[in-house]
Amino acid sequence: MKSSRIPGFYKMPIRERVRIVSEFAGLSEEEEKMLLSFNALPENIADMMIENVVGCMQLPLGIATNFIINGREILIPMAIEETSVVAAASNAAKMARPEGFKAKTTEPVMIGQIQILNPLPDAEEKIEENKEDLLNLANAQDKVLVSFGGGAKDLEVRKLSDEMLVVHILVDVRDAMGANAVNTMAEAIAPLLEKITGGKALLRIISNLAVHRIAEAEVVYKKEAIGGEEVVDKIVKAYEFASLDIFRAATHNKGIMNGVDAVVIATGNDWRAIEAGAHAYASMNGYKPLTQWKKNENGDLYGKIEIPLAVGIIGGATKVHPMAKISLKILNVKTANELAEIIACVGLAQNFAALRALATKGIQAGHMKLHAQNIAFMAGAKGEEIDVVAKKMIEEGKIRMDRAKEILDEIRKK
């Protein structure tokens, strides 16, 4: 059976890693070459994706190992510029084996908002009476979505002031992120809403607070696997800090988003939408952590995340960007919900790793090696010199550019 547990993956040469991932995911020779080219977005596709293109801004793509999600072994592509994130996720996933993570999602329902100004006093009842016509008109815009079981399902009306109503159209967007389908439907029903309400429709746009499109993941860390009951208690206290203090909650959630965004970006999804949704969701009852941690009756650590995740596997960059296509192939997901489940688990794992490090040895220890290597590289070290300079700086406890240059001079003189 395939396993995402690949001991020593981090020490292997890049080509060997690619070979293993390729075997795991059944990549083609062309896809392997694409990964190894470190230059996967062709000029013509880049030029088509946005305006005024002059180049490409690349990010490293790493693979988080060790994940088991709903019983499935999964390798997870993560695109991120920050050191230690991929290692932390992999390590957190390793400690959760062999049970791994459990995850589920709601139906992929997004909200389109239509703002109505100066409606007649009975506008709310009128909208209710005409609901079916409004939904039919919305669904006439996207027959394909409807044929796949998606489409506009319901309407909600919210009165924001005496002069302003907002109508929410709830659209099951199936495997899309959904902005296109929802915005098209919102625009299409606005004129009919004007007629029904006697008001004027102004904005017609998706809401990124995707409260109906929630992914949930859970994990139990056995106390022996994470350093004992003392570590469990410390992680619970670290969580309580975030639940009591917005300053800490922001950083706690940032750590979750390190993992979430990295997979969202690797799969070509809209990470600004995910960020906006996650933080707005965290604020619905005062800004709170997106995860919860507690000690269960056996003294083990139980963790849970609940996060809106509007991600797609069709449309947009997911189907255009060659790396996004490869990432989705590695993940082997059949639905957008399955992708959301994986992303929620990565967020939970990332949070666990951060809290465990912070509550025990501190975060800097784990950052040191790659940080020292970066400094050595910036000081001009090449090839094997990088490790030698980095190692010496760590031994001395001085990770600085001036010291890196001195050490480099010393080893070059020898």
The site for ligand MEV (CB under 6 A) is made up of: 82, 251-252, 254-255, 258, 354, 358, 363
Nearer to ligand MEV, 24 or 239 (CB): 239
Nearest to ligand MEV of 27, 235 (CB atom): 235
- Closest CB to ligand MEV among residues 82, 107: 82
Cα four-point dihedral sign 267, 272, 275, 276: negative
User: Which of 102, 131, 222, 254 is an active site residue?
Assistant: 254
CA pair distance 18, 303, nearest whole angstrom: 32
- What is the number of alpha carbons within 13 Å of residue 344 lying toward its C-beta? 33
Active-site position among 270, 338, 341, 385: 270
Residue 57 CB, nearest approach to ligand MEV (Å) = 20
270 noted as active-site residue: yes
Which pair of tokens denotes residue 145? 């979505």
Q: 14 or 363, CB closer to ligand MEV? A: 363
Tokens representing 369 are 């090696």
Q: Give the CA radius of gyration of the chain.
A: 24
Minimum distance, C-beta of residue 313 to ligand MEV, in the bound complex (Å): 27
Q: What is the C-alpha to C-alpha distance for residues 284 and 106, in angstroms, rounded to an integer? A: 18
Q: Where does residue 229 rank: exposed (0-12), middle (13-18), buried (19+ CB within 10 A)?
A: middle
Looking at beta carbons only, is 25 or 266 nearer to ligand MEV? 266
Output the CA angle 45-46-51, nearest 5 degrees: 120
Contact 288, 243 (CB under 8 A): yes
Q: Which residue is nearest to ligand MEV (CB)?
A: 255
Number of helices (H), then strands (E), in the chain? 16, 10
Element of type H or E holding 206: strand 200-207
300 labelled catalytic: no
CB 257, CB 275: distance < 8 Å:
yes
C-alpha span between 336 and 339 (Å, rounded): 5
By C-beta, is 111 or 346 nearer to ligand MEV? 346
CA distance 216 to 174: 18
Catalytic member of 222, 295, 329, 367 = 367
Contacts of 71 (CB under 8 A, 6+ apart): 100
Among the listed residues 32, 73, 82, 229, the single catalytic one is 82
- State in angstroms the smallest separation of the CB of 88 from ligand MEV: 8
3-state secondary structure of 94: helix
321 is a catalytic site residue: no
Count other Cβ atoms within 10 Å, centred on residue 391: 15
Specify the residue, 100 or 255, whose C-beta has the smaller distance to ligand MEV: 255
Catalogue the active-site residues.
82, 254, 270, 367
